[in-house]
Every structure is written in C-alpha cells, then in structure tokens.
Amino acid sequence: MAITLNPPLDNLGIMAPVLGPWFSDDAVNLGVPVPAQRLRLPVNFAAATDWFAPATGTLSLFVTDAANPPPALDTLQDSSGAWPFANGRIVAFFRLLPEVEARLHALVGLIPAATADPVDDPPTEAGVPTRPQVRSLAIVLPAATPLTPAGIYPFFGGAAGIPGSDDAERMAAIGLAIAGGNLVNAALPMTWLRRPGGELADRDILLQGLVGQVDLWAFDRRGRAIDPGAVACWWSWLLSTAVGDDPATDDEDIQLLAPDIDAEDYPQQDDQPVVVQFAAQRTAHLVDAHEGPLAAPFIGGGNRLEVDGAAAAGELVQVGGEDPIALTFAAVPPPGAPPPLDNPALDDAPRARMAVLPTGNYGAEANLWPGGPVHAGLTRDFVRVAVVDEERHLVGVARGDSRAGTTPPAVRRSAAQNRPSTRINVSRTSTTDGVLLANGQATADALLAVPNANDPTRLVLGLGDVAWAARRAPRQ
C-alpha cells in the first residue's frame, strides 16, 4: 500500500525528492555488474541518447588525475577502495541537492532490511534506512573523447550551448581550462543546477548525444561506490510502489513523478514506470569495520570468511533469482600435533564478527535475502557487510607464532599476543546495563576512577595523558 507524503511535494519546490527518467531512450537497460569492474557499470548507447537530471542536483565536469584529483572527487572509491577513474578522462559528476538527498534517503527507510523475509506489501511507515545513502551519480565519457573544447561541445548541443565568446570563456563556464591545447580542471568547478521534469523538448539535460560505451557510477555520502542498478531499482520502487499513487485522493496521483511528466512517459518495466530499466541482481559488498577494503584473513588469504560454505572469492558477492547469501566463518584448522602451552595453535581471527550495515549488530553469521528479494519490485539490490576481528581491531595487533624471531618490535608484539600469558584479552563487558556515557564529563570521571579501583583494570586508550582530567567544581 502506498503512503501519503507530508508535506506535499508541491510545497517543497526544488527541494522536493521528485524522480525523473534517467535517459531519453526508454530502451536503455542497466545490466548486471561484473565483480572485476568493481561496481563500474558500462552502458552502451546504440544511438545518440541524452542523460537527464535523475533528481534535483548540480552537474560538474572534471578531468581525471589520480595524482591530483579535484576535491569533489577526492574521496570516491570503487569496491576495492581504489580511486575509481582512469587518468585523462572526462567525468560528468551529478550531486543531489542536500535536501533532496536527505529526503530520498528517508524514503529508502521503506525498503525492508536485506536480512528480512520477503513482504507482499510495502511498509506504510519508513524505518531507519538499511541501504547506503545515495549522494551522487557520475558518467565517464567514452575513452575516445578528445580533451579539447571541440571534444566537449557535442555534449552541450554545440559551442552555442555554452556561454562565452571564445573557447577559453566557454570552458571556464563549465569549470574547465585550457593548458597546452588540452583541457584541465579550472580553479572553480561548474555547479549547474538541474531538475527533472518538463516536456521532452524542455527537460534539463545533463549531457546530450551520448553514443557508444560510457561508465556509470553511483556513490554514497562517504564516496563509496554503489551498484547504479540498485539505485535505479530503489528509486523506481519508491516511485511506483512504496510511495506510489497517493491513497488520500481518488485521482491518479503518483507523488514522486517529476513535474509535467506523465507515468506513461517513463520507461516501463513489469507494467510499472521506472527511472530506467534494470536487470535483476543482488550484490553484497564485503568491507572492513570502516567500510574500507577487506583483506586477510577473511579474503585474499586465510579463507576465514565463507559464502554459502565456500571461501569468499572477493569483496563482491552476487546472486540472482531467489537465492540467498549465507555468510559464516571457517573454523581454525587443527594443528598437526599438540602445540606447546606457550605457543598455541595460531588463530588469525579469534573474535571474528560481521554485521549488515548500516544498522545490523555484529555477530558470527549473516543471512542475506533469506527468501529472495525482499519485495517483488526490488529484484536489484545492494548492501554492505562489515567483517572484523574484534581482537585485532581493538588491540591493534594480530597474533603471530611465538617461536618466530622477536627482534623486530612488531613481530615481538604479535608473538606476545598469541602467548596466553602475555595476551591482551578482549571480551564483552560483564554489565548488563548500558555502557555509553552521556557526555565527556561523565567519561572523564569514570575513566579516572578505573586505575584507582580495588581491582585495577588494564585500559586500551587511543589517546590519554596526565593533563586529561575531570572538570573541577568552581570555587565558592
């Protein structure tokens, strides 16, 4: 059942989270991501196709340079944690207005958690969002695009489509400059406000006449890559189903439609309007506790993380149809002979935990999409799963063979962590009450009481010195 938005979108102006078609060709279909492409999604346009504003936001153009990336692109990462663009390419970067981003993310709270069983009807109240917060989309122009004004003009309808009386002025208008005959980034990027909606001839176009293969990207609020097809699916589901037709009126009133566009003018998939067609696929992105690259001993060595009972092959796990994803940890292989007491069998992940981000609790396993897609309209989906060894994360030291050489300090600390007599043990707090304190004053009081207790406790501090103390009461 759809919901009624409050306040009505007509009252929000440019801050309304309306959604428009992405492309002028309704036949464009976003294929499934290939793990080796690290969430880069190639899109091949057989004929000249325009890229429309998918929601309200700003468009910027940049020339890519990994050694000196522009600030707007500096934090972007592909699924491996690397900067996502090849050097010497033109990137059209579209960022949602902050108000639009926040409202769309709040509506994403209607999507059931990936760990939930499928539902027949969408929720009628939005909960805490369980998917990444979408902030930006980007298209990397074809590799053959010259880094010259003449190479850029066709994407804006010719030189006359850009303000200015000469090449230098026109490039400055779109945030670029000319150096040695080639385009470079200007000191001030373009931030061109673009909105979805309007008759076909009057719509805000981001880029015109795209032909051949481009790379489509989507990024969250922290710059981590998301499957663009999942973004298209989420927004299409909100458009046609979860928000859908206003139940408070008797008229056909699909609330997230862009102004002056009828539902029939959107691409159609399964008899529903969508922002762009997409193939079915569900993707789990395996990351560390900071949403960075996941490494050994979970993937890339050690094989401690398992997907459906087999060692995880990489950071992206994909399924189709009704298939679930079961994530578990492999047990430590038993030693060939009983180890000595001072050198127990090496466990490289003694307290392995995982959590489905952003709201899941850390535990020993995770089951994603246990009954298939969480709704019939959400056949393309994406979540992140954080994996961490709590001991290594908190202590900062991985266990190592105690019989190894102890000259390098790092090896000596690693050997001490494996030895039971010198190990810093990590375990849950014994209290059943809440452990978070309300403010820094309460934290200082509690911390300073620990070393002076009858039963002193070892502390693990990121930073602490003798000058840090509780605030004294003012003198009377």
Q: Is 175 helix (H, G, I), strand (E, B) or coil?
A: coil
What is the predicted pLDDT for the residue at 459? 61
User: CB-based contacts of 273: which residues, under 8 Å, 6+ apart?
Assistant: 236, 239, 240, 254, 257, 263, 264, 266, 267
Average pLDDT along the chain: 91
Bond preceding residue 334 cis, omega within 30 of 0:
no
Read out DSSP for 326-372? EEEEPPPPPPSSPPPTTSPPP-S-TTEEEEEETTPPPBS-EEESBTB
pLDDT band at 462 (very low <50, low <70, confident <90, very high): low
User: Any idea which of 24-33, 58-67, 354-363, 412-421 has the lowest mean pLDDT?
Assistant: 412-421
What is the rounded average pLDDT of the residues 45-66?
97
3-state DSSP helix/strand/coil percent for the chain, to nearest 5?
Answer: 20, 25, 55
Cα 246 to Cα 107: distance, rounded to the nearest angstrom: 15
Quick: pLDDT tens for 132-168: 999 999 999 999 999 999 999 999 999 999 999 999 9
What is the predicted pLDDT for the residue at 465? 56
Cα 127 to Cα 129: distance, rounded to the nearest angstrom: 6
User: CB-based contacts of 390: which residues, under 8 Å, 6+ apart?
Assistant: 351, 352, 353, 362, 426
Cα 214 to Cα 48: distance, rounded to the nearest angstrom: 12
Nearest to 450 by CA among 433, 429, 423: 429
pLDDT band at 302 (very low <50, low <70, confident <90, very high): confident
Place of tokens 């999942």: 230
pLDDT at position 266 over 60: yes
**pTM (2 d.p.):** 0.89
Tokens coding 135:
């902030």
Q: Is 312 helix (H, G, I), strand (E, B) or coil?
A: coil
How many other C-beta atoms lie within 10 A of the C-beta of residue 475?
A: 4
Cα 190 to Cα 171: distance, rounded to the nearest angstrom: 10
Nearest to 312 by CA among 332, 287, 337: 287
Domain borders along the chain are 9-278, 281-395
What is the predicted pLDDT for the residue at 340? 79
The pair phi, psi for residue 312, each rounded to 5°, is: -65, 130
pLDDT at position 19 over 70: yes
- DSSP secondary structure code for residue 23 in this structure: B
- DSSP secondary structure code for residue 230 in this structure: H
pLDDT at position 457 over 80: no
Quick: pLDDT tens for 75-85: 999 999 999 99
Q: Is 143 helix (H, G, I), strand (E, B) or coil?
A: coil
Quick: pLDDT tens for 161-211: 999 999 999 999 999 999 999 999 999 999 999 999 988 888 999 999 999
User: CB-based contacts of 336: which residues, under 8 Å, 6+ apart?
Assistant: none
Read out DSSP for 73-142? GTT-B-TTSS----TT-EEEEEEE-HHHHHHHHHHHTTSPPTTSPP-SS--SS--S--S--EEEEEEEPP
Please state, for a pLDDT cut of 90, what percent of the chain lies above it: 75
